Structure 1
């Protein structure tokens, strides 16, 4: 009751535009990952301020499985009424179609864009006793030992796998990919000296860097990241290198445009809230926002970015 009262009070203060679509009952955001991770946290951060604007609770429902396919199918085959949204990491629309022969949904035709939520830089980290102390030294070391260096990831086709593959391709080096069942076991082996490096999210790695259990060399974004301002960008050594975790909301195709517009407005309002932005910053994430058209263009840019890397490395998921 207290939560509903807070939502009602906030709705009175920040109503949707007069005459705009309003949800007739509670909404859901399906998150295709288990509870507790960065995606789940981001979804929960934006849900309540969106609810305050829309006048209905926005509930988070975790639907992991199938590299995002379980949640994607639920939204694609559900009612196109704007009441169920899909929280997208790159897998669902961008990577799965490039790495999987058959996916049980049409990555573009089954969905409509709503709003970009965030980008989060990745950090290139090495084990504490690693002999290289910069990106240039790492590349030189790798060239002196072709195939002799290893990098961990959360699994084949994961964002850390692709980031490492992009780094190796642009640097002209060979490294051995060691996939794990999730980020945590890979990081454990990195701290234990069993692998050499990982290129993964700042939220997962920077706390361990601050504790001295890992050593950071650079960030993956073209400019220095707010989450780690002392670290140079990889692009300072490899011009053009650019990679960041990209998360956004989509809805079922044929969702009414007025519903998409109202949800987009609510999400942009949430992302502009200073308290929301502070919570994003604590996770090393940059809030985005913008229009559905801008989101659609960004998705196409990501597809173009990763198509060549995936094809050249022969990365597939069965």
Structure 2
């Protein structure tokens, strides 16, 4: 769901008017922490900092990005789950903490549903299907045909077992009915280098990672792995045009610990929706290949539930487990 500038401003005005006197208006009284459960320098970290730069002035307090990587994003998520529910500790959510980790890991230090308060949907981050230029394919149907002609011979890389790039490759494998071999690496960088070197056949990972490699001819992009075409690469078809319903885009959102006061959730939601509606911010998102979403907290909660169910099906079918 998208909210226009006037709509977001109207929502903000209505929410603040409806809030209890002295509640949302007097909050926050101290700086906020925006916890990113990954190391600095990645796509999530970049967007979190872009959001924090604008959210701080809107709230009247600094919003400090705090990187808490480790254990498949569970360390950062757990820090938020155990924080005081006063709205000053927030999670920059990606598919890991609440969507895929419950199906990947035998146990978590938090309850993925009960220990968090959904606040607002942020962006959809599309993935890109790329192949080594030496592979004799230029489309998804050609890749599927080659894989079926050479069962078990083609390899696809990922940034690690259970990573979004791994799950996207398994989804392609299941939907297309092909037998290909997964090769995990320690991060997207090594996987891309192995693809360029020709030691793996294809890779599905964050679109933004491949802009320069595609321009130089180091990789061949054959399709966008999200439901809609990319504004950054409008010349490419989607995988869904060949495999209806295919969508491996990463859902990004904002959440807090369980028990956040309703006026605080409403204030955060309204301010973030206003930021997502800003022309300059939307232009920056387009440059990064990201699609803004926005909407009420209820929509965020619903998307987390539906995404968890969708990826659970892939994880169970592919027998993926992290110990």
- For the superposition of Structure 1 and Structure 2, which TM-score range results when normalised by the shorter chain? over 0.9
Question: 5 Å matches for 1:169-180?
Answer: 169-180=174-185
Shift, 1:223, TM fit? 2.5
Question: Structure 1 stretches (4+) deviating beyond 4 angstroms?
Answer: none
Tell me how far apart the structure 2 counterparts of residues 219 and 300 of structure 1 sit (CA, whole Å): 24
Tell me how far apart the structure 1 counterparts of residues 250 and 210 of structure 2 sit (CA, whole Å): 14
Stretches of structure 2 lacking an aligned partner (at least 5 in a row): 1-11
Tell me how far apart the structure 1 counterparts of residues 293 and 299 of structure 2 sit (CA, whole Å): 10
Q: Equivalent residue for 1:6?
A: none
Question: 5 Å matches for 1:70-149?
Answer: 70-149=75-154
Tell me how far apart the structure 1 counterparts of residues 50 and 182 of structure 2 sit (CA, whole Å): 34
Tell me how far apart the structure 2 counterparts of residues 78 and 243 of structure 1 sit (CA, whole Å): 31
The reply on whether 1:37 has 2:37 as its aligned counterpart is: no
TM-score of the superposed pair, with normalisation by structure 1: 0.93
* The one of 295, 299, 302 aligned to 1:297: 302
Question: 5 Å matches for 1:14-33?
Answer: 17=16, 20-21=24-25, 22-33=27-38
SS in 2 for 1:33: coil
CA gap of 1:222–1:73, structure 2 versus 1, over 3 A, is closer
Tell me how far apart the structure 1 counterparts of residues 134 and 243 of structure 2 sit (CA, whole Å): 24
Shift, 1:259, TM fit? 0.5
* Root-mean-square deviation (Å): 1.3
The answer to whether the 8 Å contact 1:29/1:43 transfers is yes
The answer to whether the 8 Å contact 1:85/1:251 transfers is yes
TM-score of the superposed pair, with normalisation by structure 2: 0.92
Q: How many residues align?
A: 305
Question: 5 Å matches for 1:248-263?
Answer: 248-263=253-268
SS in 1 for 2:126: strand
SS in 2 for 1:17: helix
Tell me how far apart the structure 1 counterparts of residues 102 and 234 of structure 2 sit (CA, whole Å): 35
Shift, 1:17, TM fit? 3.4
Tell me how far apart the structure 2 counterparts of residues 139 and 183 of structure 1 sit (CA, whole Å): 23
Q: In terms of mean alpha carbon deviation, does 198-207 or 162-171 score higher?
A: 198-207
The reply on whether 1:216 has 2:221 as its aligned counterpart is: yes
SS in 2 for 1:24: coil
Tell me how far apart the structure 2 counterparts of residues 78 and 45 of structure 1 sit (CA, whole Å): 23
Tell me how far apart the structure 1 counterparts of residues 82 and 228 of structure 2 sit (CA, whole Å): 40
Tell me how far apart the structure 2 counterparts of residues 288 and 222 of structure 1 sit (CA, whole Å): 14
Q: Equivalent residue for 1:277?
A: 282
The answer to whether the 8 Å contact 1:50/1:269 transfers is no
Shift, 1:117, TM fit? 0.8
Tell me how far apart the structure 2 counterparts of residues 118 and 316 of structure 1 sit (CA, whole Å): 27
Shift, 1:120, TM fit? 1.4
Shift, 1:222, TM fit? 2.2
Shift, 1:206, TM fit? 2.2
Shift, 1:278, TM fit? 1.4
Shift, 1:63, TM fit? 0.5
Question: 5 Å matches for 1:51-66?
Answer: 51-66=56-71
Q: Equivalent residue for 1:267?
A: 272
Shift, 1:294, TM fit? 0.3
Stretches of structure 1 lacking an aligned partner (at least 5 in a row): 1-13
Tell me how far apart the structure 2 counterparts of residues 17 and 247 of structure 1 sit (CA, whole Å): 25
